Homo-oligomer: A and B are copies of this chain.
Amino acid sequence: MKTKGSIQITKTIHYSCEQIERFCRDAFVKFGFTQEEAAQITVVLLLADLYNIRSHGTQRLVRYYRSIENDTIKIHAKPEIVFETPVSAVIDGHAGMGQLIASFATKLAIEKAKKCGMAFVTVRNSNHFGIAGYYTKMACDAGMIGIATTSTESIMVHTHAKQAILGTNPIAFAMPAKPIPFWFDAATTVVPRGKLEVSHKEGKPLNPTWAVDETGKPNRNADHVLTCINQKRGGGILPVGGDTEETGSHKGYGYGMICELLSAITSGGATSNHHVRAKGVGAGTCHAFIVIDPKIFGDAEAMEERLSVFLQELRDAERADPDVPIYTHGEKEAISCERIRKEGIDVNINTIAEMIAICKYLGMDSKEYLGEVDLSNATAGEIKMY
């Protein structure tokens, strides 16, 4: 199964979406969040699983768990509006849970866009917010155009550098269309970190356009590159466009910059190179949410119709290979979502081991949520954790 930025492990156990949802909600309540907050966090994580973006779904639970344990994520922090105009707001997240801060900010942007036609809400002092595309989907579900971005930990090595300053910095964009909206969400690095981890686990050399080592030269050894990144020895992942201007590296570098400027510079927060990973201190993550009401251009229904026709033209284009279909952005995710909602989620055994550890920490009965699990196939202990 091909996944986006996920860790591929063949050994999996099957659960219904309801089982996973119940586990997540109860776990977040046990961590100290309210029922409503736990539901909000869960719906963001679950959407990633439903969209088959495994790296940002239940697979990531352990990272939130560690951040909560380290007090990097402050459970009781509430987002505060520190500056506001009719079309804008600057929010201080006070190191709270990213999903809660980001959904608060997006709701605010939608309300403001409904009144003014468009709005821009920017956030500082947040934490990882899950998939950026969740928030553009919120806008799109409200009939709006949604744009979201975020800073992350430094991992992108910009053109001619050997040191990571920018993050993976995803850009998400959604706009209503039938039968499915245009829904784009992608890191501005050529690949997310998870792809390097997959290559490492599969013992495959990295694609030469993906990463550079501490000398700034392309390096195909996943273990070496990941160690460099983790120990902040230099090197990292390249921007989309690879390592030379000839293939457009300066473009990916530019897209990554736009994310930093819209999120960290507008909000007065930390750019990716100033994010921290220390006990008791919030990560410093910044986000940006732009919402545009299509009615500011006239007839919103006619616009939706135009976009739907255009997306169909793209899908109907002549194929390079008759057997390989052409997709528009969000189509694969919509197909996954329908399938997984019916069929359930295959959770890999290492993630289950992590979920069981979370149960133990929180005093939850793991069997009640996950059943009897044979962990003898779990390899988490053997896998080098980056």
Contacts and interface: CB of A to CB of B under 8 A. Distances in A.
A23 to B, nearest CB: 32
B320 A212 contact: yes
B258 A173 contact: yes
A248 B257 contact: no
B85 A158 contact: no
A246 B207 contact: yes
Contact of A326 (B158, B241, B306): B158
Task: Classify chain A's interface size.
Answer: 35 or more
Interface in A281-309: 292, 294, 296-298, 302-303, 306-307
A90 B241 contact: no
Interface string A79-115: 0000101111010000000000000000000000000
B321 A294 contact: no
A268 B247 contact: no
Given A116-B116, A117-B85, A292-B120, A160 B324 contact: yes
Given A260-B310, A329-B257, A190 B88 contact: no
A248 B191 contact: yes
A319 B87 contact: no
Contacts of A313: 165, 271, 273
A290 to B, nearest CB: 9
A255 B255 contact: yes
A116 B90 contact: no
Contacts of A364: none
Contact of A88 (B117, B242, B324): B117
Given A173-B258, A191-B248, A257-B328, 18 more contacts: A83-B297, A87-B296, A88-B296, A90-B298, A145-B261, A158-B317, A160-B324, A160-B327, A161-B326, A162-B319, A175-B261, A216-B319, A217-B320, A257-B329, A264-B310, A265-B303, A265-B310, A268-B297
17 contacts: A160-B320, A161-B314, A162-B318, A163-B317, A173-B261, A175-B261, A184-B258, A186-B248, A186-B250, A216-B318, A216-B321, A217-B320, A240-B251, A241-B241, A242-B247, A266-B297, A266-B303
